[in-house]
Amino acid sequence: MVPQVNVNVSNDLIQALSAKDPASQNANLGALIAAALGVGQPFDINVQLTSAAAATPVILIPDSYLLPTQKVYVSEIMVQVSGGTLWATVANVFLQDTAATITHATIPVAGLTANAVLIMGAAGITLGAAILAGTGGTAGKGLQVAGNANGTGSTLNVRIIGQIR
């Protein structure tokens, strides 16, 4: 007897494997499996944001890593100014979805002093509803970090932990 295959699942698998690079294939398959099991796909990502190019978003999770119905949920934020030069000119650094419509967290530049280390819940990080209410980001959109302008200061190391579900 030949087992019945759900056509939608088969089409989803074909689509997940159609990505050209292995990282996207793995992310697509992981998202598909996580969605089928009803569990989140965990992530732990480290990026660097330079103050001179702070207005240019650094992508933590690209849109292609999510299925259209999935959202990014952030559970931990850690930032570190990796040197002795405090941030200036930039007013805020934002952790937001790639549509720039939902802000998970705002970090005022006043907290980005020389060698500063800030974690989620610190006075220097304002959390948005995506985290506080647990609503997550925009469905199908990834995660990015960016400043409102370019400025001066030592490189900002950013570590984000959470789930895609």
Domains of the chain: 1-38 (no CATH), 40-164 (2.60.120)
pLDDT greater than 60 at residue 56: yes
Contacts 24+ apart (CB under 8 A), 29-37: 31/65, 31/66, 31/67, 31/70, 31/164, 32/67, 34/164, 34/165, 35/67, 35/69, 35/70, 35/165, 36/9
pLDDT greater than 80 at residue 10: no
pTM listed for this prediction: 0.78
CA pair distance 115, 94, nearest whole angstrom: 19
pLDDT for the residue 123:
87
